[in-house]
Amino acid sequence: MFANKKHFTSAIVGALIALSIIALVLSLVRIEDVTLPPTVKYGMVFDAGSSHTSLFVYEWDSDKENDTGVVSQNLSCDVQGQGISSYANDPPKAGDSLRECLDKAMKVVPAGKQRDVPAYLGATAGMRLLREQNSSAADQVLAEVTKTMQEYPMAFKGAQILTGEEEGAYGWITINYLLESFTKYSPKAHAWVRPEAANIFGALDLGGASTQISFMPENSVMNWNETSKFTLYGYSYNIYTHSYLCYGQNEMLKRLAKELIVESSSSTQVDHPCYPKDYNETISLSSFRTSPCTNQSDPRLILGDRNVTLEGRGNASGCLAAIKKLFNFSACGQRQDCTFDSVYQPPVRGQFIAFSAFYYNFKFLNLTKGQSLATVRETIEHFCARSWENLSSSYPKENPERLPKYCANANYILTLLLDAYKFNETSWNNIFFQMKAGSADVGWTLGYMLNLTNMIPAEPPARVKGHIPSLWAAAITFIILTLALGLAALLLLLWV
């Protein structure tokens, strides 16, 4: 009996020692090797631009939503038709235009999660222009898209018109989030680290009605009206960002046509140096009244309903000269911290991602592979010299309305980047023309969603998410210590 009691006591003591060792280890070591099953979350944003609308659906693991580089793009859907601002005279059609993409989104988001999906619609320069021209029409369009989106089972958060500076800043956030420029986990250091400040990218966005530039300047920005301030992962960023309304490529083309007509003394046949030779386009002067960018009173031009034919001349140098006249460079005088129209800008710094129409135009011209500025200029000049017959036969699948405009668009990009933003032969090599970073499209929509859902914290992440947190480790340690104390009590009872 005594021997059995002795063996039983030894076994209990051994178990107690083992449990104590386990508890001690758990109290000293973070349990990070046991992963928890992830819960996938979704979010969606409509980019309601001036020329078209797109829907982006994003997904991420909920246990990693405050980390970086974890959001992936699940769906990209282009809405049929023009931008929602084009429905100013028939607002219900603006809402109806979204249904096809909304239906597709409902198919990729599980039914059980749809009601928790934050959904946003952000409208940009097209709606900014419409609001300037007819604020009640802009409100009606937003009301109709809101009505449509509220019909779907999701957490609709509102439709609003972004300022140009918001559009630029959110694009900057998107790029640097996807490229892990804000914070990155270092397996070697077992901690989140901040990459070098030199790895922060600038953003160049060219849309249909506006263009934006956003970057982190060398020194503090002197003009605080052009600054956006962010605190991301424990670090503060002062970003220079400016948006130029009426300087998107579609509005530029309208302004260019109007200027050429004015200079020709309102003739019914007007030479267009940017259009291909033998290409003609007939426009009505009344079309200039549809946009505030071309509707300003001009004593040199009496707007009517008569038609004017623009006749292509395929003159690259003449095209470049005509486009430069759209900018008021003389307003800056000799100031180096100025672009045009007296707009302040510090010197460009670092590397830039040029996306949207910057990318699409250069992609068509096969100029997105890091070619030198000399090669870019030569390619554009050669393209502009090609006749309409040559172009249309060489690119039979290209939209015939878009094809004759590449010469003007390319020369406009050169003027904007070199003469306005003041990139040069050297800094040109710091511009990367691309539309994707990681798994997502580059643009303002992801940065917009990240900001509104508070997925980028002001403080840096303290540990790797997706593992058993310290609270769990403490709970397990408590349970084991409780068992150990219980066994100790049982041992004392048996001993007595």
The CATH number of residue 152's host domain is 3.30.420.40
Looking from the CA of 411 toward its CB, the CA atoms found within 13 Å total: 28
What pLDDT does 227 receive? 78
Q: Residues 447-484: pLDDT tens digits?
A: 999 988 888 877 776 543 433 344 444 555 556 556 65
Domain count within the chain: 3
Same domain, 86 and 150: yes
Same domain, 444 and 421: no
Three-state secondary structure call for residue 340: coil
Same domain, 86 and 170: yes
Same domain, 66 and 28: no
The number of angstroms, rounded, from the C-alpha of 74 to the middle of its chain's C-alpha atoms is 15
- Element at 311 (helix H, strand E): strand 307-312
- Please state the rounded mean pLDDT for residues 292-306: 72
* Mean pLDDT of the residues in the chain: 86
- The answer to whether position 210 is within a domain reads no
The residues annotated as belonging to the active site are: 167
Q: Give the residue numbers spanning the domain of 369.
A: 246-348+358-434
- The answer to whether position 462 is within a domain reads no
Q: Residues 367-418: pLDDT tens digits?
A: 999 999 999 999 999 999 999 999 999 999 999 999 999 999 999 999 999 9
What pLDDT does 470 receive? 44
Supply the pTM of this predicted model.
0.84
Give the number of residues written for the chain: 496
Same domain, 429 and 488: no
Alpha carbon separation from 77 to 117, 150, 319, 351 (Å, rounded): 17, 19, 35, 29
Strand order in the sheet with 202-206: 227-232, 235-245, 210-215, 202-206, 352-356, 431-433
Same domain, 29 and 89: no
What pLDDT does 25 receive? 53
Using alpha carbons, select from 401, 495, 465 the residue that is nearest to residue 30. Answer: 465
Q: Are 271 and 311 in contact (CB under 8 A)?
A: yes
* Assigned token pair, 289: 């009244």
What pLDDT does 144 receive? 98
CATH of the domain at 393: 3.30.420.150
Same domain, 187 and 132: yes
